[in-house]
Amino acid sequence: MREALAEAEAAAAAGDVPVGAVVLDADGNVIARGRNRREAAGDPTAHAELDAIRAAAAAVGGWRLDGLTLVVTLEPCTMCAGAVTAARLDRLVFGAADPRGGAVGSLWDVVRDQRLVPVPEVIGGVLADECLNVILGFFAERRLAASRCCGQSQVSSAAVESPSGRGRTPRKRVRGQPLRGFKSHLHRSWLPPVCWPPASFPGPLADISRGDDPPDPPVSAAPTRGWCGCAD
């Protein structure tokens, strides 16, 4: 798992969500490595597991990976869980669970579905805290970088605020002109405070993901323009 964590760190350095994987032979030697490359490669299927499985198939000279073990820092998704079964891997070892998209016991259990053969051995929770902290740290840095480029909530027009800044300047309603002097919220243009995600992101483990977009903001929240809320 330490080797897989090293691959996860390399993924983070390249701008991808830190998920890493390695494939071990029967003696425990690393024969293949992989990491999340979705952003770097622009490939939606470039998950760490698939990267490692492809490298292992090239190393052994065939697609059947009997007797080999896949070690990955995050619970595989449905796509990767299916690849584990298709590759005939003997064992799957993963670190942190993924309640939002995991397919090895969290949302589904594709790998251990008895209707699919062969059924590999599954060992979960290995160095789970360390694997999770790598992901949380990655998103924490993203939030910090976003907060540096975004300002606080701003009012586009000073006319709608009182000179003292303590509140709105009241205006008298003019007879026969009901809208003249009426100050509605339409006079203000709201910019999001700092940025989405909020400071609590990613919050509980259920809010993290293996590189999917961050969770959508609540319906009541103001829309943003991109990850940090800044104009493109």
DSSP string, 198-226: -TTTT-SGGG--SSSPPPPPPTTSPP-SS
Q: Are 229 and 191 in contact (CB under 8 A)?
A: yes
Find, among 101, 59, 97, 99, the residue nearest to 79 by Cα.
101
Which amino acids are annotated catalytic? 49
Q: Which residues fall within 8 angstroms of residue 143, CB to CB, at 6 or more apart?
A: 195, 197, 199, 201
- How far is Cα 62 from Cα 221, in angstroms, rounded to an integer? 51
The phi, psi pair for 13, rounded to 5°, reads -65, -30
Pairing of strands 91-96, 121-123: parallel
Q: Are 93 and 126 in contact (CB under 8 A)?
A: yes
- How far is Cα 53 from Cα 59, in angstroms, rounded to an integer? 10
Pairing of strands 30-35, 69-74: unpaired
